[in-house]
Structure 1
Amino acid sequence: MQVLGPLRGDIDGVPVHLGSPRQRAVLALLLADRGRVVPVDRLVDGLWRGRPPQKAAASLHAYVSNLRRVLEPGRAPRTPAGVLVSAPPGYAVRLPEDAVDAWRFEAAVRRSRTAPPAEARRLLEEALGWWHGAAYGEWADEEWAAAEAARLGELHAVARELAVAAALASGDPAEAVPAAETLVREHPLREEAWRLLALGLWASGRRADALAVLRRAAAVMADELGLGLGEALTELESAMLTGRTEVLRTAVPAASQPVSTESRPGASKVVAPVADDLFVGRDDELRVLEEAARDALHGGGVVLVTGEPGAGKSALLARCRRRLRDQGWTVVVGRCPEFDGAPSAWAWVEALGALARRTPPADPDALGALLPETGHRRRSDRGDGPADGTTGSVDAIRRGRPGECDCGEEARFDEEGMPADAGTVVASGGRGGGEFAGRFRLHQAFGTWLRSAAAQAPLAVIVDDLHRADSETLALLERAAGLVGSPVLVIAAYRPVDAEDRLTQALAELAHRSPHRLTLDGLPLSGVDTLVRAVCRDRVDAATVRALAERTGGNPFYVRESARLLASEGALVAISEVPQGVRDVLRRRLRQLPSGTSAVLQLAAVVGRETEVGLLVEAADPAQHEEHDVLDALEVSVTAGLLTEPAPGVVRFAHALVRDTLYTDLVGVRRARLHARVADALRRRRPDDVAALAHHFACAASPRTAALAVEYSLAAADLAERRYAHDTAVELLTQAIEALARIPAVADDGRPARRTGQLVALLGRLLRAQNRAGAIVAARETRQRAIEAAEAVGHQELTAAALDSWIGPGRALSGPRGLVEHTALDVFVDRLLARAELDPAVLGVSRPAVTDGQDAWAAPGEARQADGVDQTAGVERRLAVARAVGDPLLLACALTAEAAVAPVGTVDRRTSLATELRVLGYAHDLPANSWVREHIGAMAAGARNEVAKVREHAGQGLAVARRHRLEESEAINLTTLGMLAHVEGRFGEAEATYTQAREVLRVHGSPHGDLVRVLGLTTVRLSSGRPGEAEPLLRTLAPGAVPTVDLALAVVLARQGEDEQAYALGRRSPAAVPVVPDHLYGIALTLRAELAVLLGDVDSARELVPLLLPLRTQLAGAASISFVTRPYAHSLGELYRLLGDEPEARAQFALAEDVAHRWGSRHMAEAARAASAHVVPHG
């Protein structure tokens, strides 16, 4: 029988149903008298509280009969009862002492008093484990239960004190101290508990803490009882002050000298084992980490740890951290914040702050943005912000002589897109004051510091919760992982289910380092058993453990929380009623807390995963929670295992799931009000914590807090940009714009608030940040919104300001044409001319659309010619204006526009453009233009059939695109890699790469993703002889939208013998389908040529020959480095054969075979050779 907690009965280990509440009360009342006979009158009076019904005796008899059948199911009819017996004048329970847990408990405590310390400790720990709640807790308000419950409660407290004393007497103060601390928290008026805690601390070498405990005890006794310390505590205090260690040795014989817990060389630390330190079921994973560390000693390494929430990732990393430190490693840890409002790159600020204390950097100024001491300095204090003016190379740029900048075509560049001598150039101050160069210097200094630290001792960098990382955190992680040759081990943990696109991209980069991968699954049954027993401190039956293992899937956090619930509510609940989700378990545990505790926890959840106690006290509503109420609630929560105390005055949620459950359960209005209270308190306590203040004021979402939300969001965005976390800056600026909309339309002084100018300015900053972050599609939308806002009030200066924000490298590479009226562009150009005090007559232009033509590469199918007007006509005039104004961004746009409209296959001019753009990109922080240079360089190499250089430029461009999060640029580089795989006959890889490019574009909102995939797969399937597989792909796109798609579908149909449909698509003649000189020009020409041959269209063949001849030494499409079909000469050979010129046909096929060999394309060479063999000699 169990009465220490919910009443239950077992027969041979099988639970039995004890019936209705009143029937259960009959049994409890009899058990409370410990075997003595209880008169019927007393039973009736107790059951019905002195007001029995008329047939109370009959009802009592029925209850007794039912209980007898339950308790003795095998008893034969009409035989005397052996358990619940009748004895005048009533009934009694006849059971052996060890059959009732309360009786067994009392006997164990009695035996422990005379047993040796080790045996007493075992007896008491076992006995205390039998408690599953308050004795007779179901009847706490019944008079008949009160006396016995109180007696057993007192005996329980005594037993806990005896257990602590036994632990001390066994020489184990580390075990005794936490148990004693819990005792004084729960029973602050028991002097024996205070005495034992002080003894345990003294024995652990913490005499100062022990004396502080006695002072706490004195304060409690004085406040609560008006008394001083008792004799035992007074004597102990005296012994501590006078150094009489014989008092200590009497209580703790093994502690002849107090044990020091301070670190000493060669000495191990004494660490008090607590439940949270329990490490179960991850020994194999820990061995993998240790093996990875041994491998990393010879040149570095990467480990990626994944698992669902609560799988034990953080616990594994903590254990690994201790192991590595014991082995002589320098270990630094950074945690990506699991809540909003933390500063950007915080994981590295945290980790590097720890590293700086151990191994200071040689050049702290170069790392100022990432060091906690200097991270908040303004850009002007550092002197390395983006240059507003021009550098020493501007004169050369204005003269149009980029070669004078010592950055010619043959110069060497590293993977960052920087000159190989960038360090020397930057150090000399010759150029590179921009943010791009600043970020480069920061990353270089970061890598140098880590290598230097690793040279002194192997370095392990642990980054937890990587799924919450911002872009700069990930970029620095990639940098650390790339320190090949140094003993630097990077260990990162994340939840795959919460991984966002930027993490996916970073993981793709880390894959090149062949990382060790660890996936944490659920614990095995043995691990669940160990964890449950550790929490419950009881013999939990195997069936209950199996039930918990099945329900929780072995998730350690879920198991731990379920075990805590089991300890408080019993095994019956665990088997039949435990909620199915860990959040439901947490909610159930939260409901068990005292009134008011949940409200304080909700306030803590609004602050974040970790918070200062003082902040909670200040933010709490004084009408509901005074200081002592907040402290009491936190103490209860720590005791319940929901919070931990990582440092004095700081509390932290035991797991992110606890905080998330509390936060998500808050109703919106209440959540906003709590954010407002936290924001106000935080502003008083930490006014420089701009990221947190921005978050809380924004989440308060009220007109009162809106202006402050704007102010702090902008300050936090400044900090993010100083750390090059541009995606975080985008989020903060978006937040500022949303807050701006909540500012009242009428100011406090009654005048209308003028918000349009503020809105355009904020949109301009957002636009620039989006460009920096590579979100070009979003930037286009922001640009249009800014222009519409300015034009709505008819303010030309605001319109020009919006355009000024937009002018930049990304626009030249993406975006549909026609989003901005030419009049708006004219306003912007006029503003530039006026600002530069230039005479338009001198330039020979009145109001040139300097930026017109930037979108020439906007989308497949958009031409150099619009409405019959050649866009190349204005290029020289744009360049003249841009060079005269001296604006590097404007010049970059003009150069890019020229490259975009340059004739297909142009080599020399594109090479010089690429060189000048490289100079601009480096000198003026234009990372997208550094990418453009690589792109144009690849195009020039493609026109020259230089395959190795195409691959090199594409690889460097891809590195720049990924490093600066230029997603559309990354997709273009992926199409180049797909093209190369196609050329070399790796058709499956080519299709997969084109599909990957589509996904990159789709994720970032580009409308061109499907077109890229369809064209890429179509060209591959045509080359590999699978036209039937291309047809359904092509039909997914709208007919007529892109002429090249119509041509491709016509060729596919013609190859399959569907000439009529092919004719229809070709409008009865291939020549009728327009072929515009865009980046699809090459493949469109060859498709049109093949269609003419398949349909026998001689007239079209004659028209196509002069178009193809200037390009005959190239591979069709290679100059645009996205898609290819075949060498131009192959198409010429087929056209000449159709026209009857067999010698010229053979010559062209031979040339096509040579071009194919230069590209390493065996299948294209074989196709040209086979085509030549089918040329019938004339005559």
Structure 2
Amino acid sequence: MRFCVLGPLAVLSGGAQVEIKARQQRAVLSRLIIADGTVVSIDALIDAVWGEAPAREVVGALHTLLARIRRVIEPDRPAHNRATVLVREPSGYALRVARDAVDARRFTAAIVDGREHLTAGRPAQALTLLDAGLAEWRGAPYAEFAGEDWAVPEVIRLEESRLVAVECRFGALVELGRLAEAVPGLEAAVRKQPLREELWRLLAVGLYRSGRQADALAALRRARGHLVEELGVDPGPGLRELESMLLNHDQALLAPNTPSRPASRLSGGRAHHLAGRAEPLAALLDVADGATKDRPGYALISGEAGVGKTWLADRLVESLADRGWQVAWGRSSEMRGRPALWPWTQALTALGVSVTEQADRDLPDAAEARFQRHAGFARRLADAAATAPCLVILDDVQWADDASLRLLADLLTMAGGRLCVVAILRTGEPEGRELTELLIALTRAGAARIELPGLPADAIRSMADSSRVPLSARNLDHLVARTRGNALFVQETLRLAATEGIDAALTGVPSGVAEVIRRRLSQLGRTRPGRDDLEILTAAAVIGHGEDIPLLAAITASEPPDVLAILDAAVSARLLTPGRAFSHDLVRQTVYTGLAPAERAALHLAAADALAARPGADPESIAAHYLAVSPLAGRRAVDWARTAALASQGQLAYDDAARWWAKAAAEHAAAVLPDLSERAELLLSEVAARLDAGDIAGARRARNQALRVADTAGDEQLQMRALVAVEPQGLWILKEFDEIELQLVRRLENALGALPEEDSELRCRLLGTLGMELYDAGAEPRCDSLTAAAITMARRIGDPRLLAFALHARALAIYRTSQRAELTAISLEQADVGDRHGLPLHAVVGRMRLTLLASARLSLAEADRYSADCDALIRRLGLRLQAAQQAAWRVSRLAISGRFDAALHALDEAWERIGRLGYFQERQHYHLARGVLLVSAGRADEITGKMIDESGIGRMIPAAAHDLAVVAAAARGETDRVAELAAMPWPPVGDDWTLGVFLALRAAAVVAAGDEQEAERVHARLAPYSGCLAMGGSVLTLGPVDLHLARLALFAGRREEAEVLLRSCVSVMKRERLTWWAEQAASLLHASFRQ
């Protein structure tokens, strides 16, 4: 659904206009659109339609109007489902749509970005954006309501923005040298708007560059005449200075060489030498040269803050731009609050690539929607690269949002050729999960890794020479020692030396670059009586940049010309770039950390209030400022964090959405807001977002918080929803091994007892969840009955997603070696439901389980086919949890093939992934898997008692720890230790998913210990699985069951039985090409039956 207000109000669905006949409906909708996602009170909506009419007389009519509007803009919403577009809030109504769904927002975003590109010296990109923004206009904004009091401020803002956009467009044409197009257009423009000095300035510059100096001066005289005649004022300083420059043929008036990148943050004194950086630049150029028609190139530049990473990328840009490459930058900032995918939005916009196309958010599966969105980005990048090769620089990825990092990771396998992506990473910053995953993905993709060290002495000497700062050998040594070659530290010290002298700059040189920056900041003067210029820079540090003059003026109670003058002085001092960004983030950090907490809070609050009053402002930025003053902002912080979460979900940025939901809930608690049900709802929204992001442990933590809050609120419905909020996402159950959370079980039982007996989704989910929570090694019969009832109910209800859940719940609740036949049927149906109904998560998990089940019955070709299908789906959808579980399966597959060294290496890699997911008891499971692998490989002597004791295996699975200790002691010939362990009671082997492998381990232990009675008990339990592999879940295997049964038979003196088993085992292992296990069986056969 699209909303058009730059002209008469229009609503479009699928490109076709939806008719809204009644003027009152159009008025209400227009009022909500102007509010830009914020809540409009009932009184304000009534005023927009009925003026001063008493509210009690028209409230009912208003609700009728809103219901009719809902039917138009949410036609597919089921009658009893909660509205998601036109939403009811406690204080009124809000229209919640994607940022690109309103033409005024698209226009504003394009103009802001266009001005940014123009200021940064990228007129071509600016022109593309400005043209796109201006193309949104169809007439006067909010045409039929333009005179209404509630519309006037927004209409004025939009019309003023359009005039500024026109000026910027002419500015881009002039900078591009398209004077034949620019000058006639400017002549027409100054006739329509004779009081806009920027149009006159551009006309004069365009005429001068066309070789028409006299006409340029005449244009300025005409401008003066209009201003004096109509306003009684002289032209401003800009036009007066331009006149002087024209008369003096100032070289600055000549057309510049248009740069294709932002000014380097380390430009001064370093623009023309490569001392110390020639080798890494050559490596980057090799990556670009290797980006062929079919293969993209990737590189990662890393190093400490200020070492010169961005400067190196600038040199790459210069080299490739000269060869005709298209170049785009995407920057991230430590200042939180940018929309999801912000660096990619910047970069793709610079390439002229649309960033508004979205995947279908109504798909039932979050992973599928994300895949479609990322595939769309890849296609549009390929289209851009078809005209000329593309270089994309992503700067400061350590601060990028998770959605941007995940997009880059997915593009490694999706993107086409003629594309080079360079990521820049500051080391020493905390690495989140998504950044860690990206770095691993870059390594796997063969990305060039360039780690920048400090500059050598000759490079520092070159910088000093370029800065005209003489350095003696002693001073050079001093500077090298203090700065350790950090380029920014060197540069700032040289700039200080340029004003204070080299001796003063090096006398007591500060121990860090921040101290140098502070000394340089102290040199700023006062351009306003009684006020410090640093006040403006501190405000800029709070909002993250100095580009938004009106915002800085608003939060510092200053006049815009004063703000501009101070920022220009900071540009001259090279504290800011020409585009008014901070010259380096360390400069911003130094200014920001110098603020007292009260000053900082006041500026954040002022910035948030100013942005909140500005239509079209990013909710993420507003929320970040309000949250920075927690808990002072209270309700405002909660509401804007909620809006930011919804905006992130609209971009399929589920990790970011989860963080915003969590912040909203935390702020709700910090501000002691009274509505506990609202807080629980916020936490349940966090649960859903974390599940969509694949963060299972985080979802469970948020669920537990929601339960506690719902308990305090006494809200039974919320309690029940919280109980079933965490849906399993993979093969492994979401709790500690063989542990039952009794409190949670009791709550689930009570909830079921409180619900009516009739079918409902909630009851079905409670049945399945309780069945899963009861699972342990004791074969609890209710696991079977509850999950069977859940499947039956789901079939009656007829909801495919609910049926997929019920099937998955049953598979987890009855996952026992003895249940393999039913598990196979369940898994086949789960995969089929996933395939037919667009639920790829269930399609993957069903096949993953089928992989394990086929392996256990020695149908390895079938297992490998299922596994290949899983790998393809996991790669396609970027499923992190399922990828980790597949990595665990590959350990088992290598062990089945007898490749134990590779299996041990794969185990380390798999558990590195699993550890990043925060899974339950991952350390114990790792050491258990390692021990089983060593037993399979015939290397049990490498299992130490310390490894068993300190890993915690004994607390998790006592039988496994005991039997590993017996087998390891026997392998080392420690007969006394074996006898000591054998004298203890044998811990029971539980009837769960580990039964097969731990019965095989027990078989090896009892033979080593010589316990005939236990051997008979083990034989009886293991015999039903003859002809299978001894497996436990994804990663544990001890080879063919028949090999272990044969050892038990030999131990008991049943030689004929053993011989039959061994001969069959050798035959089957050879058929399946499992050479290691065939040799083990053949060796035992030969040793036992030589005659």
By the TM > 0.5 criterion, same fold? yes
**Is the Cα–Cα contact under 8 Å of residues 982 and 1009 in structure 2 kept in the other structure?**
no
1:1093 corresponds to: 1007
Name whichever of 1051-1060 and 945-954 sits farther off.
945-954
Aligned twin of 1:1081? 995
Please, which of 744, 768, 776 is the counterpart of residue 850 of structure 1? 768
CA–CA distance in structure 1, aligned partners of residues 465 and 220 of structure 2: 34
Q: Name 1:143's counterpart in structure 2.
A: none
- Asked if 1:458 corresponds to 2:389, the answer is yes
Write the distance in 2 (CA, Å) between the matches of 1:1055 and 1:959. Answer: 42
Contact 2:767 2:787 survives alignment (8 Å)? no
Q: Show the counterpart of 1:351.
A: 347
Question: Aligned partners of 2:241 and 2:793: how far apart in 1?
Answer: 93
Q: Residues of 2 paired with 1:559 and 1:1047: CA distance?
A: 63
Amino acid at match of 1:723: Q
Work out which of the residue numbers 630, 641, 645 in structure 2 matches 1:717. Answer: 645
Is this contact kept in 2: 1:851–1:878, CA < 8 A?
no
- Provide the rounded CA distance (Å) in 2 between the counterparts of 1:235 and 1:579: 41
| CA distance in structure 1 between the partners assigned to 2:478 and 2:662 by the alignment | 48
The Cα shift of 1:673 comes to: 1.9
Q: Does 1:667 align with 2:596?
A: yes
TM-score, with structure 1 as normaliser = 0.67
From 779, 794, 802, the equivalent of 2:699 is 779
C-alpha RMSD over aligned residues: 4.0
Per the alignment, do residues 238 and 823 of structure 1 end up closer, same or farther by CA in structure 2, a change over 3 Å counting?
closer
Q: Which residues in structure 2 correspond to 1:67-86 (within 5 Å)?
A: none
The equivalent residue for 1:1041 is: 956
Alpha-carbon offset, residue 991 of structure 1: 2.7
**Pair 1:1113 & 2:1027 matched:** yes
Q: Which amino acid aligns with 2:700?
A: R
Q: Secondary structure at the match of 1:1073?
A: coil
- For 1:342 and 1:825, the matched residues in 2 are separated by 41
Instruction: Tell me, yes or no, if structure 1 residue 385 matches structure 2 residue 364.
Output: no
Deviation of residue 1065 (structure 1)?
A: 4.4
Query: Does the C-alpha gap of structure 1 residues 870 and 760 become closer, same or farther in structure 2, counting only changes over 3 Å?
Result: closer
For the Cα contact (< 8 Å) 1:773–1:964, is it kept in 2? no
Aligned to 2:794: 882
Summarize deviations over 1:581-619 as a string: whole Å, max 9, x none: 222222232233336233322221111145412211111
Partners of 1:839 and 1:517 in 2: how far apart?
A: 51
Cα distance 1:915–1:839, how it changes in 2: closer, same or farther (>3 A)?
Answer: closer
1:510 partner amino acid = L
- Residues 1:818 and 2:741 are matched in the alignment: yes
Q: In structure 1, what is the equivalent of residue 849 of structure 2?
A: 936
Contact conserved, 1:726 with 1:769, CA < 8 A, in 2? yes
User: 1:741 Cα shift?
Assistant: 1.5
**Equivalence map 1:817-966=2 (5 Å):** 817-818=740-741, 821-822=744-745, 824-826=747-749, 829=752, 849-855=767-773, 862-863=776-777, 865-866=779-780, 869=781, 871-900=783-812, 901-904=814-817, 909-921=822-834, 928-947=841-860, 950=863, 953-954=866-867, 957=870
Instruction: Tell me by how many angstroms 1:1156 deviates.
Output: 4.3
Measure the CA separation in 2 of the matches of 1:619 and 1:210.
39
Measured after TM superposition, the shift of residue 1085 of structure 1 is: 0.6
Asked if 1 retains the 8 angstrom alpha-carbon contact of 2:368 and 2:877, the reply is no
> What residue in structure 2 maps to residue 613 of structure 1?
549
TM-fit CA distance, 1:1138:
0.9
Letter in 1 for 2:970: A
The answer as to whether partners of 1:532 and 1:545 remain within 8 angstroms in 2 is no
Deviation at 1:669, TM superposition (A): 3.2
Amino acid at match of 1:825: L
For 1:954 and 1:708, the matched residues in 2 are separated by 49
Query: Residue 732 of structure 1 corresponds to which residue in structure 2?
Result: 660
User: By how many angstroms is 1:1159 displaced?
Assistant: 5.9
For the structure 1 residues 786 and 533, does the alpha-carbon distance in structure 2 shift closer, same or farther, using more than 3 Å as the test?
same
AA aligned opposite 2:544 = G
Distance 1:305 1:1139, change over 3 A: same
In the TM superposition, what whole-angstrom CA distance separates every residue of 1:833-867 from its partner, at most 9, and x where no partner exists?
67857999xxxx9x98332232477xxxx32614x
Q: Distance in 2 between matches of 1:637 and 1:855?
A: 62
Residue 1041 to residue 284, structure 1, CA distance change in 2 (3 Å): closer
Instruction: Give SS of 1:851's match.
Output: helix
Q: 2:510 aligns with which of 537, 555, 579?
A: 579
Aligned pairs for 1:1158-1177 (under 5 A) are 1160-1176=1073-1089
CA, structure 1 residues 235+909, in 2 after alignment: closer, same or farther (shift >3 Å)? closer
Is 1:283–2:294 an aligned residue pair?
Answer: no
Residue 540 of structure 2: aligned partner: 604
Structure number with greater Rg is: 1
Change (3 A) 1:884 1:1028: same
Give unmatched runs, 5+ long, in structure 1.
1-197, 242-246, 370-383, 387-431, 746-752
Q: Deviations over 1:860-911 (max 9, x none)?
A: xx32614xx4632433222112222344454333212322314427555434
> How far apart are the structure 1 equivalents of 2:298 and 2:761?
57
Identity across the alignment (%): 30
Structure 2 Cα separation of the partners of residues 668 and 235 of structure 1: 42
Q: Are 1:441 and 2:369 counterparts?
A: no
Aligned residue for 2:300, secondary structure, equals strand
Q: Which one of 718, 726, 749 corresponds to residue 806 of structure 1? A: 726
Question: 2:631 pairs with 682, 702, 705, which one?
Answer: 702
Task: Please tell me whether the aligned partners of residues 374 and 411 of structure 2 are also in contact (alpha carbons under 8 angstroms).
Answer: no
Task: Verify the 8 A CA contact 2:733 2:772 in the aligned structure 1.
Answer: yes
8 Å Cα contact 1:305-1:492 kept in structure 2 = yes
Q: Using a 3 Å threshold, how does the CA distance of structure 1 residues 205 and 829 change in structure 2: closer, same or farther?
A: farther
Q: CA deviation at 1:541?
A: 2.6
- Return the alpha-carbon distance in structure 2 between the equivalents of residues 1036 and 756 of structure 1: 43
Counterpart Cα distance in 1 of 2:242 and 2:573: 31
Structure 2 unaligned residues grouped into runs of 5+: 1-203, 527-531
Structure with the larger RCO, 1 or 2 (CA within 8 Å, 6+ apart): 1
Match of 1:1027? 940
Q: 1:636 maps to which residue? A: 569
Distance (Å, rounded) in 1 between the aligned partners of 2:537 and 2:514: 15
Structure-2 change in CA distance of 1:686 and 1:949 (3 Å):
farther
Distance in 1 between the 2:411 and 2:707 partners? Answer: 42
Q: Distance in 2 between matches of 1:489 and 1:898?
A: 47
**Equivalent position to 1:335, from 309, 331, 336:** 331
**Who is 2:1016 aligned against?**
1102
Question: Please, which of 401, 407, 414 is the counterpart of residue 470 of structure 1?
Answer: 401
1:354-397 per-residue CA deviation (whole Å, 9 max, x = no partner) reads 23x3x56xxx87x237xxxxxxxxxxxxxx333xxxxxxxxxxx
Q: CA deviation at 1:951?
A: 5.2
Q: Tell me the residue number matched to 2:913.
A: 1000
Deviation at 1:716, TM superposition (A): 1.2
Q: Is the 1:524–1:554 contact (alpha carbons within 8 Å) kept by the matching residues of 2?
A: yes
For 1:877 and 1:237, how far apart are their aligned partners in 2? 87
Instruction: Determine helix, strand or coil for the equivalent of 2:423.
Output: strand
Q: State the alpha-carbon separation in 1 of the partners of residues 982 and 545 from structure 2.
A: 64
- The CA distance in 1 between the partners of 2:241 and 2:650, in whole Å, is 61
Kept in 2: contact 1:863–1:1077 (CA 8 A): yes
The aligned counterpart of 1:28 is none
* 3-state DSSP of counterpart to 1:1121: coil
Query: Distance in 1 between the 2:302 and 2:1030 partners?
Result: 45
Residue 565 of structure 1 aligns to a residue whose secondary structure is helix
CA 1:825–1:839: 2 relative to 1, 3 Å: closer
Name the residue aligned to 1:544.
475
Kindly indicate whether residue 473 of structure 2 is the aligned counterpart of residue 497 of structure 1. Answer: no
**What residue number does 1:33 align with?**
none
Letter in 1 for 2:629: A
**CA distance in 1: counterparts of 2:569 and 2:218, whole angstroms:** 21
| Cα distance in 2 for residues equivalent to 1:289 and 1:507 | 17
